Amino acid sequence: MTFQFTYLQFHLAFLLPAVMLLSATGFVSRSRISGVASWDSSSWRNYWAGVAIITVVALVYTTPWDNYLIARGVWWYGAETTVLTIGYAPLEEYLFIVVQPWLTALWLSHLSFSTVWPSASHPIRGRLLAFGLAVAIGLGGWQLLGTDATFYLGATLAWAAPVLALQWVVGAPQLWARRRTVALGTVLPTLYLCVADRIAIEYGIWILSKQYTTGLSIAGLPVEEAMFFLVTNLFVVQGLVLYRLVMQRWADGTAATARHWYDRLRAGAETAR
């Protein structure tokens, strides 16, 4: 008798344990995330508010793309591996879209990075170069859409390009200044999810179309799947790094304004005496 591994069991075997482990260890290392001696409760709440925002954006942005590719036949699911289908995607697929940002955010919360807004010598040029790279990725993706064998890869690149363009235009210099954190925050969750995905394909939870994939693989994992996890984790990491920087800058600006008006009021009171 062949054991049928279901999509829900995939969540229980790979996503839930990883989230629980990172949550438990995150309480120990949470003081390191801001690069300062302590991590106050306000900053901690702001960080997870950012995660919630990114999760909603990910669900809204990914759902139409995901449903279209399933409807096109780029991939499908094994018999009796899913519980319920909404649109063209199973319920577990939506759950995966929601859980992945939290998994990556939990890992990122273990890494320390400065929230000081760096000054760049050529900020405009850096943003333009990054935007040009995003445009090239998008155009390359659209070109690949024209051939069946590269359709999935092209769809991923074309779908990823607008998000990358927005993030890089907003904060390319700031992200480059923290490139080690961005790289480490992206690579580890990507590798983990690639391994989990490889096992899921092996057990027939989902099946990729040979027509719409290149046939190229890394240790048995189609390159298209590896690319998907790479760009989606990059979205999350870059989004959270920029969110923390913006929130910290806003907090610093608010504090500076408050100090300014406090000093003026105090000076006025002393003059009145």
What does the CA dihedral 252, 258, 260, 262 come to, rounded to 10 degrees? -150
- d(Cα 50, Cα 150) in Å, to the nearest integer? 34
Q: What is the pLDDT of residues 230-239, one digit of tens each?
A: 999 999 999 9
Q: What is the pLDDT of residues 185-224, one digit of tens each?
A: 999 999 999 999 999 999 999 999 999 999 999 999 999 9
pTM reported for the whole predicted model = 0.86
Where do the domains of the chain lie? 45-119+178-258
Q: What are phi and psi of 255, to 5 degrees?
A: -65, -40
For the chain, what percent of residues have pLDDT higher than 70?
81
Residue where the block lists tokens 């904060």: 171
Q: What is the pLDDT of residues 14-68, one digit of tens each?
A: 999 999 999 988 755 554 444 443 456 667 788 899 999 999 999 999 999 999 9
Q: What is the pLDDT of residues 151-179, one digit of tens each?
A: 999 999 999 999 999 999 999 999 999 99
For the chain, what percent of residues have pLDDT higher than 90?
70
Taking a C-beta distance cutoff of 8 angstroms, is the pair 237, 175 a contact? no
> Average pLDDT of 98-112?
94
* pLDDT given at position 120: 57
Taking a C-beta distance cutoff of 8 angstroms, is the pair 144, 157 a contact? yes
- d(Cα 193, Cα 189) in Å, to the nearest integer? 6
Counting Cβ atoms within 10 Å, is residue 246 exposed (0-12), middle (13-18) or buried (19+)? middle
Q: Taking all residues of the chain, what is their mean pLDDT, rounded to a whole number?
A: 86
Token digits of residue 85: 């289908």
Q: How confident is the model at residue 229 (pLDDT cuts 50, 70, 90)?
A: very high
